[in-house]
Amino acid sequence: MPSLVSTTEIESFTGDFKNLFDTFKREFVVVKQSNKRILAPSIDIDFLYHGYQSADQKPNTLVQYDPVTGIYQGIIRYTDGRTEFQNIGDLKSTVSERSVRLKVESDAKEFIMKDKTEKFLIDEKSFKLMGSYAVKYFFGVKLYVFNLEEIV
């Protein structure tokens, strides 16, 4: 199939596109829902049914929450303080004043979409995920864009 752009030009464009991403990317932290672990150092049969013997008994199990985080890189773009309106047919949606557009590669997208993401830490501020992602495709290079809203 004929193309308006040669293979050499495509390689040049995608190389420049990747360099642009590498130039402006910054680190951010993705905080996932913590893993809950039940610790039972020793099982004492007298304490197995807590609450049924006497009021002064304490359960011998402990709950520990292990944090799950990931540090990734992406292009972070803050909105300029005005509310943006987007029209899609009869549907109107707004993007908050305190929002961020986060453009990431596939490894970060997979981590964000796996399990529950609680928040993003960017520039010492917390953000929450707003909806799903959009795919930006440029001559075979895919980047994924997430809309985030600041948690106040």
Interval 4-17: pLDDT, tens: 767 787 777 677 77
Amino acid making up residue 48 = L
Residue 94 confidence (pLDDT): 56
Nearest to 109 by CA among 79, 77, 61, 146: 146
pLDDT at 84 over 60: no
Interval 119-133: pLDDT, tens: 999 999 999 999 889
Q: How confident is the model at residue 23 (pLDDT cuts 50, 70, 90)?
A: confident
Amino acid making up residue 142 = K
Residue 127 confidence (pLDDT): 94
Interval 25-53: pLDDT, tens: 899 999 999 888 877 666 555 555 555 55
Interval 95-120: pLDDT, tens: 545 789 999 999 999 999 998 999 99
Residue 126 DSSP SS3 = strand
pTM over 0.75: no
Percent of the chain with pLDDT over 70: 71
